[in-house]
């Protein structure tokens, strides 16, 4: 058996490096920046006023000055201020040539074209200088950032209209099983409601991928292979039918197509597969719902983040609040809740792969090494909150 970390490295090795694309600012939200943004202009591009008031020479205050014009945002006063003169100025408007400070309007008295400045003012008061925020060529947004509105606003302010980003990967998925019935439909003998498609569709969206639902495929290997071969995707994920039973259609359909099926030393999620079908990377997960949720966190999420250019979130050490048992020889991936900086299993059923109805109680996963047969209160385990 290979370890979960070894299996993840194998999956990483299957992925094709993404190719950046150029998009408008409006289409960049949520994408990851591939090429850093540097300012195309000075920000601000000219000296401007931080207040409504009067632009003047600091050397003329205090005193009574003659108002010779007005500078408003987008409508600068184009003259040159002389000694004894002031210009009415509004917030954001260009400071006229010759002026070196702005006095707020509430501090002055105006009478017609005369404005009285009662006290001294320092040179540079209430002036935002050209390039104070950024100079041409300064770094504004670094590569690797998942773009949010504040990043796009900064790029726009820097005069940048388009961005080079990593595109959202298309990830196709299919589920298998003749026993599966859509949620809301009545159950017949031996049937269960299907949940893995919901897990994958919503998880892929949360991870920043474009999900492509290939549907539910019955227990027939040729149907599985046909669906995977026809998928237009950067990655395909299957669930179920990957073990050693008599009715394992994923293994039957894909083993000869380029997918290697292995046992991974983990609980839940031992039966796994990974490889290529027609040049497309394929990850084959077990079918039990909790195993699928766990494998999304350990394998699918990292693959999507790698395709998006997103770094992998760290696992953090936390103490166990209670004791629990572990499977010998396999790393245990335990759904847990976090209370007062410590963790405990989210359910009394532990990490059983069938306990999907109780999965909603969990807020994180804890990893217990394969050489541990039990966790005692205070033992340190590696924990990460769900990323999808």
In whole angstroms, what is the distance from residue 365 CA to residue 345 CA?
Answer: 9
Instruction: Write the pLDDT tens digit of every residue in 240-251.
Output: 877 655 568 899
Region of poorest pLDDT, from 192-196, 231-235, 285-289, 371-375: 192-196
In whole angstroms, what is the distance from residue 361 CA to residue 291 CA?
Answer: 16
The residues, ordered by sequence, that sit 6+ positions from 173 with a Cβ below 8 Å of its Cβ are 197, 200, 201, 204, 211, 212, 213, 214, 236, 237, 238, 239
Instruction: Write the pLDDT tens digit of every residue in 145-155.
Output: 999 999 999 99
Sole residue written with tokens 């040049």: 279
Asked if 326 contacts 296 with a C-beta cutoff of 8 angstroms, the reply is no
pLDDT number for residue 189: 72
- For the entire predicted model, the pTM comes to 0.84
What's the CATH code, domain 48-128? 2.170.190.11
In whole angstroms, what is the distance from residue 232 CA to residue 323 CA?
Answer: 47
In whole angstroms, what is the distance from residue 270 CA to residue 266 CA?
Answer: 6
**Bond before 268 cis per omega within 30 degrees:** yes
The dihedral of CA 302, 305, 306, 312: what is its sign? negative
| Mean pLDDT computed over every residue of the chain | 92
Mean pLDDT of 33-40: 96
Question: Quick one: CATH architecture of 21-43+132-166?
Answer: Alpha-Beta Complex (3.90)
Q: Start-end ranges of CATH 2.40.340.10 in the chain?
A: 316-385
Topology annotation, domain 4-17+168-308: Molybdenum Cofactor Biosythetic Enzyme; Chain A (3.40.980)
Q: Start-end ranges of CATH 2.170.190.11 in the chain?
A: 48-128
Give the CATH H-level superfamily of domain 316-385. MoeA, C-terminal, domain IV (2.40.340.10)
Asked if 325 contacts 374 with a C-beta cutoff of 8 angstroms, the reply is yes
pLDDT number for residue 240: 85
């Amino acid at each position: 058996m290979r370890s979960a970390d070894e299996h993840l490295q194998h999956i990483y090795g299957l992925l094709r490096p993404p190719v950046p694309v150029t998009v408008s600012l409006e289409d960049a939200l949520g994408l990851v920046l591939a090429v850093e943004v540097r300012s195309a202009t000075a920000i601000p591009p000219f000296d401007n006023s931080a207040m409504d008031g009067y632009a003047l020479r600091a050397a003329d205050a205090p005193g009574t000055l003659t108002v010779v014009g007005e500078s408003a945002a987008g409508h600068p006063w184009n003259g040159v201020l002389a000694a004894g003169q002031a210009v009415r100025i509004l917030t954001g408007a260009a400071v006229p040539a010759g002026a070196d400070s702005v006095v707020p309007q509430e501090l002055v008295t105006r009478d017609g074209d005369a404005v009285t400045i009662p006290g001294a003012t320092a040179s540079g008061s209430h002036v935002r200088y050209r390039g104070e925020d950024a100079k041409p060529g300064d770094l504004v947004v670094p590569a690797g950032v998942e773009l949010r509105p504040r990043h796009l606003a900064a790029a726009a302010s820097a005069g940048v209209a388009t961005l080079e980003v990593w595109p959202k990967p298309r990830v196709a998925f299919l589920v298998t099983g003749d026993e599966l019935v859509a949620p809301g439909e009545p159950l017949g003998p031996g049937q269960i409601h299907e949940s893995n498609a919901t897990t994958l569709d919503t998880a892929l969206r949360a991870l920043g991928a474009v999900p492509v639902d290939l549907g539910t495929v019955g227990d027939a290997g040729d149907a599985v292979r046909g669906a995977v071969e026809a998928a237009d995707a950067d990655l395909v994920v299957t669930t179920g039918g990957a073990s050693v039973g008599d009715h394992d259609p994923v293994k039957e359909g894909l083993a000869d197509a380029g997918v290697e099926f292995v046992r991974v030393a983990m609980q839940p999620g031992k039966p796994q597969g990974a490889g290529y079908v027609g040049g497309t990377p394929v990850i084959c997960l077990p079918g039990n719902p909790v195993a699928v949720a766990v494998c999304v966190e350990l394998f699918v999420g990292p693959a999507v983040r790698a395709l998006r250019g997103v770094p992998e979130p760290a696992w953090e050490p936390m103490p166990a609040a209670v004791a629990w048992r572990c499977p010998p020889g396999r790393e245990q991936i335990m759904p847990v809740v976090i209370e007062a900086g410590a963790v405990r299993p989210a359910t009394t059923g532990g990490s059983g792969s069938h306990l999907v109805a109780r999965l909603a109680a969990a807020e994180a996963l804890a990893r217990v090494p394969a050489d541990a047969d039990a966790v005692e209160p205070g033992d340190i385990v590696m924990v990460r909150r769900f990323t999808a």
